[in-house]
Amino acid sequence: MSKVKISILVLSCLCIFFFSLFLTPSVMNPFTLNTLDRDILVSIRLPRLLVAALMGIALGASGAVLQGLLKNPLADPYILGISSGASLSAAMGLVSGIYLFGQFSIPFTAFAGAAVASLMVGAFGWKGGRLLPERLLLAGVGMSFLFYAALMLLISISTHEGMRRAVLWIFGDLSMADWSLIPWGVLFIVAGLGISLSRARALNALMLGDELAHSLGFSVHRERLLLFTSIALMTSASVSLGGTIGFIGLLMPHIVRFMLGSDNRILIPVSALCGGAFLCIADTVGKSVLSPVEIPSGIVTAIIGSPYFLYLLRKKDVLGQ
């Protein structure tokens, strides 16, 4: 990959960051900030932008890893049931009325649910000491349905007036982004990203087939387990930061593959970067278009993302590689 392309990419990401921070929903001059502006900038815009970037990075990277791991172009990190597990767990926490962790309660229960869901899907995908991709995929789809049905059951029998609104949170809401969660998000997402980047070469080999990977000196099952762990870490952290944001995990890796090819050593970091930038854009659009009314970012990503995805789908060289 050429240095020019990388520089353009990094530069545009910085521009997007600057744009979202200072220009929307209302313009602020970074050189003449009054107290009110500084307050808004530090306690609202900056944490929100960081959460958007973190979630986008996590989803972009885990999407790229998962599509390679399952050798399936339509794999999305949420397909593993991690997000529906998180949603169910957060909703159960709300219904039970247990607020052990104060304002951390919802993110904490969501993370616990995501972690349990990952372990269960991993256990179902595990057979004879090996993690089998097809089993993993189907187990994820099955678990998703189960969790989702349980969530719907909970919603339909609950008379909690707050419950319905609280569930909105699950469908992607960045407006409550807060400094207190960011260190945890960074910890899990950087760990996951680190694992996946260090295993990128192994993933390249795995995509050529198990035997070839084995002959290239990779321990196939160990690599798969590590890669799955990295996806679980990143997706769980992202769901507990701001709920379920669709399309980035599915869309970003394809766009990047289209531009730069499918070498995972480049695909994973660039998908992460583009995912982060894309979610920042989507969130900026969502909070500016109807300001002061906000449109949840999950809706914006899908509205911008779906037409582009369909356009890519028409170009068969993207999926046919």
Partner 1 sequence: MRKARVVLSLAVLILFSVVSSSIAETPGRIISLAPNLTEILFEMGLGSRIVGVTQFCDYPAEAKKKPKVGGMSNPSPEAVVTLKPDLVLMTTDGNPKEFGERFRKLGVKTYLFRAQRLSELPHEIRKLGMALDAKREADALAGRIENTLKKLRDRKIAKPQKVLFIVWPEPLIVAGPDTAIDDSIKLFGHTNIAAGTGISYPKYSLEEIIRQSPDAIFIGMGHAEIKEISQGLLRKLGNVPAVRNHRVFFLSDNLYRLGPRIIKGIQEMAECLK
Min separation Cβ 62 and partner 1, Å:
24
Extended beta strands in 91-139, E state? 126-127, 130-131
Among 122, 140, 253, 296, binds partner 1 (CB under 8 A): 296
Q: What is the DSSP letter of 103?
A: G
Kindly indicate which of the ranges 55-63, 187-195, 251-259, 289-297 contains the residues binding partner 1, using the contact rule CB under 8 A: 289-297
In the complex, least distance from residue 295 CB atom to partner 1, rounded to whole angstroms: 8
* Cβ neighbours for 79, distance < 8 A, ≥ 6 positions apart: 66, 137, 140, 141, 144
Residue among 180 and 219 whose Cβ is closer to partner 1: 180
Please say which residue, 178 or 210, places its beta carbon nearer to partner 1.
178
Token digits of residue 5: 């392309």
Q: Does 321 bind partner 1 (CB under 8 A)?
A: no
Report helix, strand or coil for 130: strand
Number of residues that bind partner 1 (CB under 8 A): 36
- Note whether 210 binds partner 1 by CB under 8 A: no
Q: Could you give the 3-state DSSP secondary structure of residue 126?
A: strand
- Interaction with partner 1 in 151-180: which residues (CB under 8 A)? 156, 159-163, 165-166, 168-169, 173, 175-176, 178
Q: How many Cβ atoms sit within 10 Å of the Cβ of residue 224?
A: 24
Kindly provide the b/e burial profile for residues 100-138, where b requires at least 16 CB atoms within 10 angstroms of the residue's own CB. Answer: eeeebebbbbbbbbbbbbbebbbebbbeeeebbbeebbe
| Residue 30 interacts with partner 1 (CB under 8 A): yes or no | no
Among positions 7, 12, 34, 43, the unique one binding partner 1 when judged by CB under 8 A? 43
Binding string to partner 1 for residues 122 to 151, with x set by CB under 8 A, is what?
Answer: ------------------------------
* CA–CA gap between residue 64 and residue 71 (Å, rounded): 10
CB of residue 321 to partner 1, shortest distance in Å: 40
What does the angle CA 15 – CA 241 – CA 204 come to, to the nearest 5 degrees?
70
Residues near 76 by beta carbon (within 8 Å), at least 6 away in sequence: 63, 66, 246, 247, 249, 250
Residues 6+ apart with CB under 8 A from 36: none
Given 45, 224, 254, 257, the residue binding partner 1 (CB under 8 A):
45
Instruction: Sketch the per residue contact string, 80 through 119, with partner 1: x for CB under 8 A, - otherwise.
Output: --------------x--x-x--xx-xx-------------
Binding status of residue 295 toward partner 1 by CB under 8 A = yes
Mark the segment that binds partner 1 (CB under 8 A) among 34-42, 112-120, 245-253, 274-282.
Answer: 34-42
Whose structure tokens read 């779906």? 306
Binding site for partner 1 (CB under 8 A): 25-26, 36, 39-40, 43-45, 94, 97, 99, 102-103, 105-106, 156, 159-163, 165-166, 168-169, 173, 175-176, 178, 287, 291-296
